[in-house]
Amino acid sequence: MKYILITGSTDGIGKLLALRLAKEGHFVGVHGRTAAKLETTVSEIKAESKNNNVVGFLADYANLSDVQKMATEVADKMPKIDVLVNNAGVLKTKTGSTANGVDVRLVVNYLAPYKFTNTILPLLKKAAAPRIVNLSSAAQSPVSINALQGGMNLGANDAYAQSKLALTMWSFDLAKKEPSILVVAVNPGSLLNTKMANEAYGQHWSPAEKGVDILYDLSMTDKAKTNAYFDNDKGGFTKAHPDAYDDNKVEELLSITQSII
């Protein structure tokens, strides 16, 4: 039995992955933003998997103090974490920015997983062969440090693409700094049949299962490689955006991130 935590797992591929792993008998931590939906999801997964080792964690990823609280709760309820899947993400949203003026996509898709992961690193280090799977995207564009500090507004798609490149840059850096942890970034597939794609674009190209399968393989099998980017649209490991390999840009991003956090 492994201890697995999947953020953003009350919907879409996160929920399907949680169910699959619960059916295999693993201890699964499920994360959601609303209490009612989280409770329903945990009950559904327990019933369908016949596995009672499913726990829910509540946090609004747009609020970093919520993220901090959730990290504390995870440490109380999970003795270790073998696999962390940073799946929580947002593209279309009613509110464009958070209280401090930073685009909500930059917060939810990058700053929150950065904060959460770094806070629970001790739990990952308690596992024999820990791994982190970070959900990137085919959409990656250069990160505006000004926007990250709340100094300018971005369009939804641009903010999303910047957040996903930031996450990928951090993934590579974390893999180098924490050699005992396998860290892989993945584009699970473009326009999968999920709530996020359908709300944003009103269409999908591939079934959600395509994304679930690759997340499962990278979480549980020897397919995963550390300090690497897997593009499920291309079916293999490939190069991410050039900025992810630019040491100066990575260093600048992470020092600003640390000061924001």
Output the DSSP codes for 171-189: HHHHHHH-TTSEEEEEE--
Most confident of 26-35, 89-98, 208-217: 26-35
Supply 51's token pair: 């596995």
Backbone angles phi, psi at 206, to 5 degrees: -135, 155
Q: Which residue has the higher pLDDT, 193 or 149?
A: 149
| Mean model confidence pLDDT for the chain | 91
Q: How far apart are CA 114 and CA 98, in angstroms?
A: 17
> Can you give the CATH number for the domain in which 256 is found?
3.40.50.720
DSSP 192: B
Nearest to 8 by CA among 65, 74, 55, 60: 60
Whether the per-residue pLDDT at 204 is higher than 70: the answer is no
Query: How many domains are contained in the chain?
Result: 1
What residue numbers bound the domain in which 97 lies?
3-260
**What does the buried/exposed string (b/e) look like for 186-199 if buried means 16 or more CB atoms within 10 Å of the residue's CB?**
bbbbbbbbbebbee
Distances (CA, A) of 35 to 7, 82, 113, 137: 14, 25, 20, 28
Please state the rounded mean pLDDT for residues 157-161: 93
| Range of lowest pLDDT (3-7, 197-201, 229-233) | 197-201
Q: From the CA atom positions of the chain, what is the Rg in Å?
A: 17
Nearest to 119 by CA among 67, 164, 172: 67
DSSP 130: -
Whether the per-residue pLDDT at 96 is higher than 90: the answer is no
What's the confidence (pLDDT) of residue 201?
43
What's the confidence (pLDDT) of residue 100?
72
Q: How far apart are CA 163 and CA 253, in angstroms?
A: 11
Please state the rounded mean pLDDT for residues 60-81: 97
What's the confidence (pLDDT) of residue 87?
95
Q: How far apart are CA 238 and CA 175, in angstroms?
A: 16
Torsion of CA 182, 168, 1, 73, to 10 degrees: 120
